[in-house]
Amino acid sequence: MYPNLLVPLLTALALALAALVLVAARQPVSRRLAFRQIARRRTEAALVIGGSGLGTAIVIGALVVGDTLNFSVRQEAYRTLGPVDERVVAPPGPTGRSVHQRLAVLTDSPDVDGVLNAQATQASAVSGTGDRTVAEPRVLAWQMDFGKASQFGSPGGDSGLGGPNPKPGQAVVNEPLARSLSVAAGDPITLYLFGSPQRYRVARVVPEEGLAGVGLGGRMNRDVFLAPGTLDSAARVAGTEPRSVTFVSNRGGVESGEALTDRVTDDIRRTLGPLAGQTAIETPKHTVLRDARQAGDSLGALFLMIGSFSIIAGALLLVNIFVMLGEERKSQMGMVRAVGMKRSRLVGSFTLEGAAYALLSALPGVAIGVAVGWAVSIVAAKIFQGWSVGGSSIRIAFAVTPTSVLNGLAIGLLIAFAAILATSVRISRFNIIAAIRDLPATPGQKPRRRLLVISTALAVLCAFAAVPAVARSQPDTTYLLPALTLAFAAPALLRVLPRHTVTTLVAGVVLAWTLLAPVVRPRIFDTPSMSVYVIQGALAAFSAVVLVSDNQKALLRPVRRLLQRPTEGGLAARLAVAYPLAKRFRTGATLVMYTLIMFVLVLLTEISGILRAGVDGVVTDATAGYSLRLDYNSQVAGERLVADLRSGPSATWISAVTPLLNATGRATDPGHRSDQALDAAVVGVPDGTITGITFRERLPGLGDDAAVWQVLADDPRYVVLDAFFGSTGGPAGDYYDPGDTLTLTDPRTGRSEQKVIAGVLSNGMVFYPGTGASSTTYPVVLSEQATRELFGAQAQNASALVRTSPGTSPDALATQLQGQQLSSSLVATPIESDIRRQFDSSTAFFRLMQGFLALGLGVGITGLGVVMVRAVRERRRTIGILRALGFRARTVQRSFLWESAFIALEGIVLGSLLGVLTTWLMYSNSAAFEGLEGGFPVEWSSIGGLAGATFAASLLATIGPARRAAAIRPALAVRVTE
């Protein structure tokens, strides 16, 4: 992913590595100090390498997920389309024959490798004999010359279809159709061609590749290929003709030919001349590959956003470790500075040591990241299979590109280097005498004048910039600029207020703004970018931890009696809280790691709970009493099918049938997110038939939902959309409102009309095509009259909504109708079951993201383990003295366990509270949750399970250091420091 970032990232990494090599070469003393510390502290080094490697692994894992989805969809395009780059679909009759003749001249074009004419029709199929029959309502029957098909495409390439033509009475089927019908070569099948049954025998089964997998929509096409003249004969009997299709293959083969799509499409339009307005000129490969890039980038960005919190935790782990190293080596650093070592060389020593840790973690991080991407792809394969539409689903195939590995490696190393360098500079600023004597730092000093002037100027600039940002609801800056204003104002406040007051005030106000910004400016989430969620979560976690860390004593007042008990347990408890209170920065960094990860885990858990709680309301809004959506072959069925449903054998189980007009259109994005026209499934609704489907927003003056449907029927200028129209894969938001306009175009004639949005549907799922259309095809709902006026003959009755009678099972009726109307290629979709299945898939996807985020929890637990290992070494003399005074080993061990429990519990509680509160505020104010009316559930059991597992893992990470502390011998600990 992100090939455009590869060169800048590698350049930055090369410069950083060159600087490190230069420091190592020019400062041999710093180099020896750094590498000696790594060799002496092997256990701690292993923990640091593990934590740093997890940070790199999270970045690489997110990028690999994007690679996998991108590759999977691209492979679907290459497999199902092969050499087909353009597809020209003409209406039956003389127009289709004229199109074939005109396009034949393209074979002489230097940009074209081949032109293939074919005829097709929508059919249905049945296999089996006796009581065991298998039906497939959606089949594409093709008639083409296999000899010409085998030569279609680039010379020497595989078109996907070859061999002899099937003989009369025989059929060649592709693998998806063979699997659906459970047939093999030699088995009989019955095809319904133009509504009439015809019996054939399967000559052979061909792989779903190239021409053997093509279709007229969807990613999974069930194709049958018949002998030349078969469709023509069947059509003559039915008094019609098959549809004419011309395939065009661009020069350059299956993959590189896609680059010539725009040029060849223009050539096709010029060649067709006036006939171009009567045909559909489609670019299926270009469209699928565009969707693949968008889907891969969106999903990769989503996982990278989720992983960002773990990356922040990994950077904090490095910072915490080096702060502890600085504390531990304070006397040593004071001595080397006293004998003449410059501060820059001390910074160089720490930077080289940290860089060595980061570099040693690179290869393990890459391996873990690729493994994580593979595991995510395995789970995602099952989830995306559940998102299939009309049998069309994404087949996930694991893939990793060198670009993603190098990008992830570079990002991980650069973040580590930056954290290490910043911490090393901070550590090097100490008082030499105080360091040698191991005296604590003297807090409370007022900031220097230069710092005061610079920070005040920055605070003023941020304040001025924050006003327009907040007024315009700009996502990132609405959060960042007010927070930066307060942070830069802190030095000025320290001139007039105590440090504790300033810290509490700034952290409290930043936390309040972070939580309340969605209330004040709810449109800040109307963006496809994920960065706003990272900024919000990071600001909430950091400000809350600073607020808690600076007020620990006040928070511990309720348990003061427990701490002051004159017992062994009370002593262990006092020791457990003494060091976290004394080492605020160290404790705060560990708390932030826990808080960040628990915050996002709880956020995902709550969102999943909201979805489950709101599914009943969504079903009600989406269906308005309709139980089934029917999609059928308009050439065969048309109005006859609607009449059969109303008065045929199934009429007793059906209370109402609402036929819908359908057409294929293109529409501009009313949210102005893209300049390109979007694929639109145009739906014409009969006047007065649908009044119960609800809207989340209506035009001013329209008092209820029925009024929106009435204005749609009265005025052809108006349309209705759902909230996902033009979705780019990011979070749902409020990008357009009633009254906004869009341009709707008939791609066959080029005729366009400007439409006004009369309402935004609460849920428009019943209007989405149920027969395998692209995931980027969005419904535009008009009146029947408006649809016929704009789209003419293209608008046909190809779908319907059905209300079932009381007590009728929609799922059972769907199966029955598909059997009765097999000749019409009818597909019946139970709306409620379909919605609930998609909600289940969404919940599973949230669980997948939670599992990915669990890596970050591993970083936090590793950080706590490192802190406790370092704490044992740092307090070796103190532990020895306590043991010499009579403290039992059990008390020492208990104090270490309680200390880690105190830090972990505080981080878990803080993250959980922030997660629940933030989700509630988003649920109450963000457009992303509109339409989910099931209330706000607090997932106590799930949150409790997460908290319990995290707490238990934290204690397990501390058992080893606690036992080592208890095993320290007093005489040795008092006599030596190491």
> DSSP 3-state helix, strand, coil percentages of the chain (rounded to 5)?
60, 15, 25
Range name among 22-31, 303-312, 419-428, 790-799 with the lowest pLDDT average: 303-312
Alpha helices in 27-41 (DSSP H): 28-40
- Using the predicted structure, report yes or no on whether residue 391 has a pLDDT greater than 50: no
Residue in this structure with the two tokens 């560990």, named with its chain if needed = 590
> Which amino acid, residue 151?
Q
- pLDDT, tens digit (0-9, with 9 covering 90-100), for 414-460: 888 888 888 888 777 777 777 777 666 655 555 677 888 888 999 99
Reply yes or no on whether the pLDDT at 217 is more than 90.
no
Least confidently predicted of 13-27, 400-414, 502-516, 557-571: 557-571
At which residue do the structure tokens 């809350």 appear?
A: 544
Q: Flag whether pLDDT at 618 surpasses 80.
A: no
Average pLDDT, the chain: 82
Q: What is the pLDDT of residue 913?
A: 93
Q: Is 409 exposed, middle or buried (0-12, 13-18, 19+ CB in 10 A)?
A: buried
Number of H helices, E strands in the chain: 32, 19
What does the block give as tokens for 910?
Answer: 């803080």
pLDDT band of residue 706 (cuts 50, 70, 90) is: confident
In this structure, of 291-295, 642-646, 885-889, the range with the lowest mean pLDDT score is 291-295
Please state the rounded mean pLDDT for residues 656-682: 86
- Residue in 189, 19, 16, 122 with CA at minimum distance from that of residue 636: 122
Identify the burial level of 444 via C-beta atoms within 10 angstroms of its C-beta, where 0-12 means exposed, 13-18 middle and 19 or more buried. exposed
β-pairing, 718-722 vs 752-761, is parallel
In this prediction, residues 212-221 reach a mean pLDDT of: 71
State residue 440's pLDDT score. 64
Enumerate long-range contacts of 131-134, CB under 8 Å, 24 or more apart: 134/180, 134/181, 134/182
Residue 931 — φ and ψ, nearest 5°?
A: 95, -15
Q: What gap in Å lies between CA 547 and CA 508, rounded to an integer?
A: 6
Name the residue with tokens 């005829």. 119
| pLDDT at residue 486, as a whole number | 92
How many Å from the N-terminal Cα to the C-terminal Cα in the chain? 48
Q: Predicted confidence band at 733 (pLDDT cuts at 50, 70, 90)?
A: low
Distance of CA 576 to the CA centre of its chain: 41
In this model, does residue 386 exceed pLDDT 60? no
Instruction: Provide the token pair at 503.
Output: 């810290």
Tens of pLDDT, residue by residue over 576-606, are: 888 888 888 878 888 888 888 888 888 888 8
Mean pLDDT of 171-189: 90
User: Is the sign of the CA dihedral 675, 676, 681, 682 positive or negative?
Assistant: positive
Q: Give yes or no for residue 196 having a pLDDT over 60.
A: yes
Note whether 330 and 438 are within 8 A (CB).
Answer: yes
Taking the CA atoms of 864, 867, 873 and 876 in sequence, report the sign of the dihedral they define: negative
| Residue 436, φ and ψ in degrees, nearest 5 | -65, -40
User: What average pLDDT score do residues 396-413 get?
Assistant: 86
Cα dihedral: 348, 354, 359, 362 (round 10)? -150
- Using CA atoms, how far residue 822 sits from 381, 390, 424, 445, 659, in Å, is 31, 15, 74, 84, 18
Q: What's the whole-number mean pLDDT along residues 381-408?
A: 69
Side chain identity, residue 878: T
Q: How far apart are CA 839 and CA 929, in angstroms?
A: 14
Q: Where are the beta strands (DSSP E) in 668-786?
A: 678-685, 695-698, 718-722, 741-745, 752-761, 777-783
Sign of CA dihedral 684, 688, 689, 690: positive
756, pLDDT greater than 90: yes
In this prediction, residue 587 carries a pLDDT of: 83
pTM score, two decimals? Answer: 0.77
**pLDDT greater than 90 at residue 15:** yes
Q: pLDDT band for position 772 (50/70/90)?
A: low
Query: What's the one-letter identity of residue 483?
Result: A
DSSP helix/strand/coil, 335: helix
- Look at residue 225 in the predicted model and tell me its pLDDT: 94
For the chain, give the longest Cα–Cα distance: 106
Q: What pLDDT was estimated at residue 390?
A: 41
Angle CA(80)–CA(83)–CA(85) in degrees, nearest 5? 90
Instruction: Report the relative pairing of strands 628-631 and 134-143 from DSSP bridges.
Output: unpaired
Residue 463's pLDDT is what?
92
What's the average model confidence in pLDDT over 349-376? Answer: 85
pLDDT given at position 142: 92
Give me the mean pLDDT over the 237-265 stretch: 86
**Tokens of residue 688, six digits:** 């007065």
Question: What's the mean pLDDT in 16-27?
Answer: 89
Task: List all residues 6 or more positions away from 14 whose beta carbon is below 8 Å from its beta carbon.
Answer: none
Confidence band of 131 (pLDDT split at 50, 70, 90):
low
CA distance 446 to 880: 38
Task: Yes or no: say if 206 and 175 are a contact pair by the CB < 8 Å rule.
Answer: yes
pLDDT band at 388 (very low <50, low <70, confident <90, very high): very low
Q: Which two tokens stand for residue 756?
A: 């006004």
Given this model, what pLDDT does residue 505 score? 93
Return the percentage of the chain with pLDDT > 70, whole number: 91
Residue 687 has pLDDT above 80, yes or no: yes
Is it the case that residue 205 has pLDDT exceeding 90?
Answer: yes
pLDDT at 744: 92
Q: Are 799 and 645 in contact (CB under 8 A)?
A: no
Residue 659: which H helix or E strand, with range?
Answer: strand 654-667
Please name the residues in contact with 956: beta carbons below 8 A apart, sequence gap of 6 or more: none
CB-CB contact of 88 with 264 (8 Å): no
Q: Average pLDDT in the 78-103 region? A: 84
Tokens representing 3? 């090939």
Q: Which residue has the higher pLDDT, 284 or 459?
A: 459
pLDDT at res. 389: 41
Residue range 674-697: average pLDDT? 84
CB-count exposure of residue 917 (10 Å: 0-12, 13-18, 19+): middle
Burial class (CB in 10 A: 0-12, 13-18, 19+), 554: exposed
The answer to whether 369 and 408 have CB atoms below 8 angstroms apart is: yes
DSSP notation for 812-824: HHHHHHHHHTGGG
Percent of the chain's residues with pLDDT above 90: 15
